[in-house]
Structure 1
């Protein structure tokens, strides 16, 4: 027996309606292509990868993750963390393909394959295969055991039960609820020696993708979960329902509510970023035109607006330029005080210059707090 889907209350249904309204709004906005869509999507995916991996202690900047996604060497991230990021990106790429596949059924092979993609570089951790023995989750600060997974003898049968449920269980339930329960059951089963948390969060995204919520980078809650106190609340929400050991029951409403709240808050963030992107791009177009710069320079300026830095290879790839063209544009932008160069050769990057810093400060002052859907007040970003 696995953990059961709870019965929702009116407050939960109201939050679900608001999430769906925001999702439809995002879908309509994205139906019309914009110049900034590609960069925004890439950054949102990088933030999701950052969030899920930071929960496990693998920390990298959004800028380095974007470099890894583009096949570049990161500037600050260690080779060990780079391997974790690259593995997770590979798994998410596969999930996007599976979300769009015409013919698909969940099976154990898919889950084991995703786990192998994530941790295949850890040959000593039996990637892609069921753990050989018991498993204990410890508090990283105290060393205390906070959760003990089910006996290894029961794991294959529990995976099979979860697979059966994924393919045919609770199909009348909202997608976000089924995805939350898939996440919870997989992390509670804890089938592998490593990667269980990341796998569970990725499975949540896959369930949403298969239910035709087809933009995983916009519906994932991984970025939200990786933000400071949210990570603490995430572990607290898991432990409240788990109770320390594998003990399936139907008192899972608090977990589902935690996930619905996270989806709502993350959707607000993405909605605000989309609105900001249009305003920023138009402003930068005006500035580029006023200074008689090439129109493609807006792409470089926008990347520096949403990020701490820009590398020549990223701009070159985004605008399909030669190395020389990209280098000349960036030198010109630096000469006009839009960018500030740092480093040399492969380590060279461009940070916001004085003009861009003023633009960023102006938009930072306009940020509105997010609204907690289960409360009447607001929550910090």
Structure 2
């Protein structure tokens, strides 16, 4: 028996309607191709990877995650964390491909494969194989047991039930609700020795992707969940609804509401970023043109605007330039006060110069606070 899908109240249906309106608006705006689309998608994927791994204590900056995604050496992140990031990126790449696959059914093999991609570097944790025994989740502060997974002999049947439900269950429920319940049931079954939380969050994204709820980069709530305050709320609601051990009874509405709120807040954030991208890119094009610089320099400037750091190799790859061309462009931008270089040779990077810093500050002042849909 799995945790059941709850009935929604009028307030929840209203929030769902608002989420759907924002999704349709994003879909319409993304249908038109823009120069900044690739960088925006890359940033969103990096932030999703950052959020989901931060929940587990694996922390890395967005810029380093983007370097790992590109196969480059990060500047600050420890190698142990690099492996976690790379594994999760591989799994999310597979999620993105599965979301568009013309023929697809959920099965245990797919979930095991995703788990192996995430934690395959931990051979001692038998990645991609169901746990052989009991599992206990302990508080990172007190070390007391806060959750005990179902007995190991029940795990195969529970996973079979979950797979059947993913393929056929509650098809009339809204996709966001089904995705939330897939997350909740998988994380509470806790079928692997490690990676269960990341797997549950990736499954939630996959369910939405299969239901054509935007691409995974735009429908994921992992960035939102990775914020420190939200992470605390995330664990609190998991504990309050799920209890201290597997007990699939009671109301799961509070969990679904938590997820709907996260989707709403993240959708607001993505919409704001998309609008900002168009405004900033257009402004930078005007500045570059007025200063007689090559139009391709806008790509470097936008990267410096959205991120804390820019590397020459990233700009070179984005614009398909030679090393010399990329280096000259960045030197010109630094000379005009847009960028500020730091470091030498392979460790060299660029941060916002005085002009870019002013642009960032002005944009931050214009930002509209996000609205909690349940308040």
**Smaller-chain TM-score bracket:** over 0.9
Question: Take 1:97 and 1:316, find their aligned partners in 2: how far apart are those partners?
Answer: 27
The answer to whether the aligner puts 1:249 opposite 2:252 as a matched pair is: no
Alignment of 1:137-148 (within 5 A): 137-148=137-148
**Contact residue 6 and residue 250 of structure 1 kept, 8 A:** no
Provide the aligned length of Structure 1 versus Structure 2.
375
Query: Which residue of 2 is the match for residue 358 of structure 1?
Result: 358
Query: Which residue of 1 is the match for residue 279 of structure 2?
Result: 279
Question: Take 1:106 and 1:171, find their aligned partners in 2: how far apart are those partners?
Answer: 14
Question: Take 2:179 and 2:249, find their aligned partners in 1: how far apart are those partners?
Answer: 17
Structure 1 residue 290 displacement after superposition:
1.2
The answer to whether the aligner puts 1:261 opposite 2:261 as a matched pair is: yes
Query: Which residue of 2 is the match for residue 316 of structure 1?
Result: 316
| CA RMSD, Structure 1 to Structure 2 (Å) | 0.6
Question: Take 2:214 and 2:98, find their aligned partners in 1: how far apart are those partners?
Answer: 10
Secondary structure of the 1:365 match is helix
Structure 1 residue 250 displacement after superposition:
4.3
Secondary structure of the 2:310 match is coil
| Distance change in 2, residues 1:250/1:165 (3 Å) | farther
Query: Which residue of 2 is the match for residue 231 of structure 1?
Result: 231
Structure 1 residue 214 displacement after superposition:
3.5
Alignment of 1:88-237 (within 5 A): 88-237=88-237
Question: Take 1:212 and 1:62, find their aligned partners in 2: how far apart are those partners?
Answer: 27
Secondary structure of the 2:137 match is strand
Unaligned runs of 5+ in 1: 376-381
CA offsets 1:237-287 (integer angstroms, 9 cap, x no match): 100111101000141000000000000000000000001111101111111
TM (normalized to structure 2)?
A: 0.99
CA offsets 1:26-57 (integer angstroms, 9 cap, x no match): 00000001111100110010000000000000
Structure 1 residue 374 displacement after superposition:
0.6
Question: Take 1:224 and 1:277, find their aligned partners in 2: how far apart are those partners?
Answer: 20
Question: Take 1:228 and 1:45, find their aligned partners in 2: how far apart are those partners?
Answer: 19
Query: Which residue of 2 is the match for residue 39 of structure 1?
Result: 39
Question: Take 1:22 and 1:349, find their aligned partners in 2: how far apart are those partners?
Answer: 36
TM (normalized to structure 1)?
A: 0.98
Query: Which residue of 2 is the match for residue 305 of structure 1?
Result: 305
Alignment of 1:49-64 (within 5 A): 49-64=49-64
